[in-house]
Amino acid sequence: MPIRLYNSLTQEVGVLHPLHPGRVHMYTCGPTVHDRAHIGNFRAYLAEDLLRRHLEARGLKVEQVMNITDVDDKIIAKATARRQTLAEFTAPFIEAFFTDLKRLGIQPANHFPRATEYVGAMVALVEQLVATGHAYESEGSVYFRVESFPNYGRLSHLDAKGLSAGASGRIDSDEYEAKEAVRDFALWKRGTEGDLAAWPSPFGWGRPGWHLECSAMAMELLGASIDIHCGGVDNKFPHHENEIAQSESATGKPFVRLWFHVEHLLVEGGKMAKSQGNFMTLTTLMERGHSPLAVRYHLLGNTHYRQKLHFREEDLVGASESLDRLATFWRRCAAAQGGDLKTAGSGDPLAAAAQRARDGFEAAMDDDLNLPRAMGSLHDLVREGNRLLDEGRAGGDGCGAALLSLRIADSRLAVIERAAVSEDPQLTGEEQQALARREEARRKGNFSKADRIRDQLLELGIVVEDTKEGTRWHRL
């Protein structure tokens, strides 16, 4: 089965054909580190992580770059206000970003280039664009001449007629007086020596425009043509449109084969954004008692990445319950797998269910990462597996097969095993004794004492459950 993905450029789902068979070069627009990244930002990074994990699960070798924008107007303004250097100001946000990536189980990219480290490559790109007439200097700044790139607007499907300048209310009109045309955008912004963020260039001191960094770093690290470029939908225009214009004008080659855009996270009817002040960070959610696994599971598993997701904190509780169900089944299978369950052999109905779930999961994932549908398959397995185990109709082989299917799915979900298996799987001697005392009490029919011990263990984060096969426990 081929992997099919939606391409914003063609506006349709098509088969992924990497430029180099077996390998995928992927560029991901990363954070601008002027503040903590919020869960809306992370929704995009999670979807991109899902994409990468799926490509890898299907045997492709992925080379991924995620940039860190560590110089831009907001950063400069805030650092200036705090009398800090750029690096001093951005360091804690960068650190926090990496902490959150790890908490959310997002695999690190192969490269995390920082804009400030690639100014040389950016200047070279600007020089080339000026030399070929695609860019012009004006009052110490350099602008891209949009008119020189006929394909402009192909990605965002906006044409010049439809664009009414300033409709979003986000532009500062002063900035545009030096330009030939309103659509033109800054490649290089004039500065002065000694500025907080200024580098020397053939055009004088200044700093790079935002769009430039992604073009320069993507081409530097991944080549002139890359397979997949990812980002939030809000980056389609103007950011990605401008990247295409710059890159293709410079190289004459197609910049990106497939554009992967992740829809927004909404909150109370609007987009979650730093500028709206309605954002929520992972740390805040964790302080309110939500596990990062539940956040990952919720942001990823219940809504397709191209659908807007309306975030409600309560929904995390539901996600956590749902994840628990998967984790409990994982534990049940793991315990029964090598156990003394009679082996049902090749005709084990659980093994058959496991295979069905696996096929369903893969087919859904191959179809534009339809994880909500894939989760349906997985939950079918859980229900069926539990029933078969309850009825004593599944054997160790079936459990092994079920566990394998879960494991394979979890190579993309990256939540079930972490939720199922505690990092500290051993009981301390004291805890073991408590468990033994409880067993003793139960055997003697002293249930109030047994219940008291169970409550005490729960206080310690240990859940005790009595089953037909005996008492079992797991950590919260």
Applying CB under 7 A, which part among 89-97, 123-131, 167-175, 217-225 lies near RNA?
167-175
Q: Compare residues 61 and 453 and give the one whose CB is closer to RNA.
A: 453
Size of the site for RNA (CB under 7 A): 96
Tell me whether strands 61-66 and 23-28 are parallel, antiparallel or unpaired.
Answer: parallel
- Binders in 248-287 for RNA, by CB under 7 A: 262, 264-266, 269-275
Q: How many residues does the chain have?
A: 476
Taking every pair of C-alpha atoms in the chain, what is the biggest distance, in angstroms? 91
Cis peptide before 238 (omega within 30 of 0): yes
Gap between the Cα atoms of 207 and 192, Å rounded: 10
Gap between the Cα atoms of 288 and 280, Å rounded: 11
- Binders in 86-145 for RNA, by CB under 7 A: none
- Binders in 35-54 for RNA, by CB under 7 A: 40-41, 43-44
Q: How far is the CB of 182 from RNA (least distance, A)?
A: 5
Binding of RNA at residue 178 (CB under 7 A)?
no
Among 88, 321, 440, 469, binds RNA (CB under 7 A): 321
Q: What stretch of H or E contains 26?
A: strand 23-28
Q: How far is the CB of 246 from RNA (least distance, A)?
A: 13
Q: How far is the CB of 394 from RNA (least distance, A)?
A: 11
Q: What stretch of H or E contains 441?
A: helix 429-443
Answer whether 210's CB lies under 8 Å from 216's CB.
no
Binding of RNA at residue 78 (CB under 7 A)?
no
Gap between the Cα atoms of 229 and 155, Å rounded: 12
Count Cβ neighbours within 10 Å for each residue of 111-129 and write b for 16 or more, e otherwise.
Answer: ebbbbbebbebbbbbbbeb
Q: Compare residues 346 and 439 and give the one whose CB is closer to RNA.
A: 439
Q: How far is the CB of 320 from RNA (least distance, A)?
A: 8
Binding of RNA at residue 201 (CB under 7 A)?
no
- Binders in 386-445 for RNA, by CB under 7 A: 386-387, 389-390, 442
Among 383, 393, 437, 444, binds RNA (CB under 7 A): 383
Q: Compare residues 23 and 465 and give the one whose CB is closer to RNA.
A: 465
Q: How far is the CB of 93 from RNA (least distance, A)?
A: 11
Burial of 468 (0-12, 13-18, 19+ CB in 10 A): exposed
Choose among 215, 155, 168, 169: nearest CA to 188. Answer: 215
Q: Compare residues 389 and 402 and give the one whose CB is closer to RNA.
A: 389
Applying CB under 7 A, which part among 79-87, 198-206, 312-320, 418-426 lies near RNA?
312-320
